C-alpha cells in the first residue's frame, strides 16, 4: 500500500483518532508527582508517548504502575518511572486504559488482548479511570461491535468445567482462546487460560458479572461495569468528545 492509500485507510484514521483522544486525555489529567495506572493495548502506546513528552518538557516526576507485561515494557522503553502496586500505600491519582467495546450505558468489554485481571486491579485502585478509544468501539448494544466474546480469565485446570457451567447457566459458547504464536492455549501474564464467552442474548450484565465471580475457577471477567470516570472518544473527523460518568 502506498502512503496516500495508507493515510486514507480506515485503520489509519482510527489510529489518528485514538492518538488525538489519548493526547487530550493526558493533557487534561497529567500533573507533577502523580502515581498513575497504565493500561494495555495499542491505544496505550499513544497515551505513553504523550506522558513521556510532557514529563520531559516540564521536568516532572510521575510514577507509572503497569497492568501487563506489555505496559511494563512500554514504561521502560520510554524511560518512565516504573512503580509496583504492592509498593503503593495510597490511591492512584488516575489510571488510563482503553476498551474493546463501550455500550450506550457505558459498560465495557476488555481483555481482547488478554490483559484484564491486572487491568481491573489497577484501574479500580485509581480514584479516576480515564478511558481512551476511537468511535468504532462505541455500540448501542453490548456485543454489537466487539465480536470476540467476553473474555474470562480462568485457572487452567478448571477451564472445561467453567466452560460447561457458563454455557449451561447463561447459554452461548465459551471458547478456549488458542494462541497464534504457539500450539495450545493463550497463557495470560498471570499464568491462566482465557475463555471467550460468545453470548446469545442480552443479560443484566452486572448480575452476570456477579454470578461469574461465584464460579470456582473464574479469576476475573472482561466485564467492566460502569467502571470508567471519563471516556475520551476520538472521532474520524478529527474531533474528540468527552463523556463524564462520575
Ligand atoms: O486485553 C487488552 C486490554 O483490555 C485492552 O485495553 C483492550 O483490548 C483494547 O486494546 P486496544 O487499545 O489495542 O484496542
Which structural domain range is residue 177 located in? 150-221
* Residue 48 placed within a domain: yes
Burial state string for 217-237 with b = 16 or more CB within 10 A and e = fewer than 16: bbbbbbbbeebbbbbbbbbee
On the question of pLDDT at 70 being above 70, the answer is yes
Which CATH number belongs to the domain containing residue 88 in this structure? 3.40.50.1360
Same domain, 111 and 79: yes
Q: What is the pLDDT of residue 235?
A: 96
Give the separation between CA 91 and CA 122, rounded to whole angstroms: 10
> Is the CB of 40 within 6 Å of ligand 1?
yes
Give the separation between CA 20 and CA 28, rounded to whole angstroms: 12
Same domain, 232 and 196: no
> Is the CB of 25 within 6 Å of ligand 1?
no
* Residue 122 placed within a domain: yes
- Residues 112-137, mean pLDDT to the nearest whole number: 97
Report which ligand 1 atom has the smallest distance to the Cα of 110: 4
ipTM of the complex: 0.98
Global pTM? 0.95
* Residue 144 placed within a domain: no
Give the separation between CA 114 and CA 112, rounded to whole angstroms: 5
- Residues 134-148, mean pLDDT to the nearest whole number: 94
Same domain, 60 and 122: yes
On the question of pLDDT at 5 being above 90, the answer is no
* Residue 145 placed within a domain: no
- The per-residue pLDDT for range 189-202, each reduced to its tens digit, is 999 999 999 999 99
Report the residue among 100, 153, 187, 192 best suited for mutation to probe ligand 1: largest number of ligand atoms under 8 A from its CB.
100
Nearest residue to 100 (alpha-carbon basis) of 48, 58, 34, 144 = 144
On the question of pLDDT at 246 being above 70, the answer is no
Among residues 119, 135, 153, 220, the one annotated as catalytic is 119
Which CATH number belongs to the domain containing residue 171 in this structure? 3.30.70.260
Q: Grid coordinates representing 169?
A: 447457566
Report the residue among 42, 99, 132 best suited for mutation to probe ligand 1: largest number of ligand atoms under 8 A from its CB.
99
The answer to whether 97 touches 123, Cβ cutoff 8 Å, is yes
Give the separation between CA 43 and CA 97, rounded to whole angstroms: 8
Scan for cell 509496583, then name that residue.
84
> Is the CB of 37 within 6 Å of ligand 1?
no
**Distance, CA 151 to ligand 1 centroid (Å)?**
12
> Is the CB of 134 within 6 Å of ligand 1?
no
Give the separation between CA 20 and CA 182, rounded to whole angstroms: 35
On the question of pLDDT at 8 being above 90, the answer is no
Confidence band of 245 (pLDDT split at 50, 70, 90): confident
> Is the CB of 95 within 6 Å of ligand 1?
no
Q: Reply yes or no on whether 119 is catalytic.
A: yes
Report the domain count for the chain: 2
Same domain, 57 and 107: yes
Amino acid at each position: 500500500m502506498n502512503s496516500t492509500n495508507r493515510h486514507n485507510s480506515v485503520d489509519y484514521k482510527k489510529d489518528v483518532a485514538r492518538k488525538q483522544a489519548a493526547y487530550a486525555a493526558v493533557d487534561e489529567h497529567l500533573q507533577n508527582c502523580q502515581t498513575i495506572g497504565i493500561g494495555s493495548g495499542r491505544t496505550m502506546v499513544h497515551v505513553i508517548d504523550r506522558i513521556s513528552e510532557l514529563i520531559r518538557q516540564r521536568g516532572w516526576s510521575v510514577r507509572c504502575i503497569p497492568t501487563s507485561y506489555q505496559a511494563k515494557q512500554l514504561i521502560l522503553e520510554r524511560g518512565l518511572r516504573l512503580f509496583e502496586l504492592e509498593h503503593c500505600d495510597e490511591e492512584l491519582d488516575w489510571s488510563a486504559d482503553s476498551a474493546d467495546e463501550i455500550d450506550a450505558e457505558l459498560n465495557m468489554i476488555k481483555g481482547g488482548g488478554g490483559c484484564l485481571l491486572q487491568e481491573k486491579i489497577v484501574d479500580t485502585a485509581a480514584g479516576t479511570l480515564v478511558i481512551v478509544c476511537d468511535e468504532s468501539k462505541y455500540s448501542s448494544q453490548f456485543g454489537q461491535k466487539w465480536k470476540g466474546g467476553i473474555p474470562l480469565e480462568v485457572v487452567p485446570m478448571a477451564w472445561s468445567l467453567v466452560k460447561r457451567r457458563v454455557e449451561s447457566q447463561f447459554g452461548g459458547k465459551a471458547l478456549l482462546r488458542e494462541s497464534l504464536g504457539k500450539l495450545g492455549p493463550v497463557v495470560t501474564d498471570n499464568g491462566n487460560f482465557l475463555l471467550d464467552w460468545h453470548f446469545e442474548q442480552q443479560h443484566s450484565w452486572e448480575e452476570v458479572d456477579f454470578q461469574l465471580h461465584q464460579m470456582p475457577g473464574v479469576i476475573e471477567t472482561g466485564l467492566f461495569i460502569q467502571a470508567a470516570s471519563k471516556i475520551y472518544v476520538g472521532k474520524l473527523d478529527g474531533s474528540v468528545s468527552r463523556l463524564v460518568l462520575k
